[in-house]
Copies of this chain bind each other. A is one copy, B any other.
């Protein structure tokens, strides 16, 4: 993750906790391990500060350091926290039956994602009862600009989140259809925002079309996304319309299950526009 100069932490302007949380965000599926000096450089922070923060986090098991490579990575304490959160206020367990329903309704692989800085992290997957389907790798981060999940998240996120995220992006062509200029990405976000769902065809993987819709929490903020990863070559306009309807239905069900208000499914961003 490289950040533009303006994102870097200069002097003591950021509070210590914010610095620690900022550093935690560097542990991503494609960069799960960091050498101290590389992280300090990427974060624009001095090495001593980064070392102190990582040592505090390591004391509690939030990160851990490999004894030989000396690299830092997330620690098992995050598994414990996730287990406590999920046991008391389930998200994955609530989304799972919705994904199962959507997989059987659409005949395609379905998944739910959370936002992770510049990509989406899959937290649950359901597979259809059908031989040909898209394989969704749970360890694979989904780039926000090249996937339906990412676009449907960003289109409904708060303006500050959108601008911060877009400023960080380095656009890269995953296929011949990936949007590689910021103008195209912004135009897509506008369309998705108006429609309330995203379709992203062959932009991340060849022969895969993603259809995704946002899940809102009790504040009306976008919390997660629900998507069907469809085999593109078998999507007729008619099938696509049927899947779009099912995805929107699933996202509304998930919003309700998470205590969100489905009458506000266009979310915070819509509210900001109306204000």
Give the interface of A toward B (CB within 8 A). 15-18, 20-21, 24-25, 27-29, 32-33, 53, 56-57, 59-60, 62, 66-67, 73-89, 91-92, 114-116, 121-123, 138-139, 218-219, 223-224
Say yes or no: A81 contacts B74, CB within 8 Å. Answer: yes
Contacts of A122 in B (CB 8 A): 83
| Interface of A, helix, strand, loop or mixed by DSSP | mixed
Q: Considering residues A21, A57, A139, which has the most beta carbons from chain B within 10 angstroms of its beta carbon?
A: A21
Contacts of A24 in B (CB 8 A): 60, 81
Q: Known: A16-B17, A57-B17. Is A123-B79 also a contact (CB below 8 A)?
A: yes
Q: List 23 A-B contacts (CB under 8 A).
A: A15-B16, A16-B17, A17-B17, A17-B56, A17-B57, A21-B57, A24-B81, A27-B81, A27-B85, A67-B219, A74-B84, A74-B88, A76-B91, A76-B223, A78-B85, A79-B86, A79-B123, A80-B114, A83-B114, A83-B122, A83-B138, A84-B116, A87-B138
Nearest chain B CB to A63 CB, angstrom units: 10
Contacts of A218 in B (CB 8 A): 66-67
Say yes or no: B114 contacts A79, CB within 8 Å. Answer: yes
Say which residue of B28, B29, B56, B85 sits within 8 Å of A73 (CB atoms). Answer: B85
Contacts of A57 in B (CB 8 A): 17, 21
Contacts of A84 in B (CB 8 A): 27-29, 32, 74, 116, 121
Contacts of A121 in B (CB 8 A): 80, 83-84
Contacts of A86 in B (CB 8 A): 79
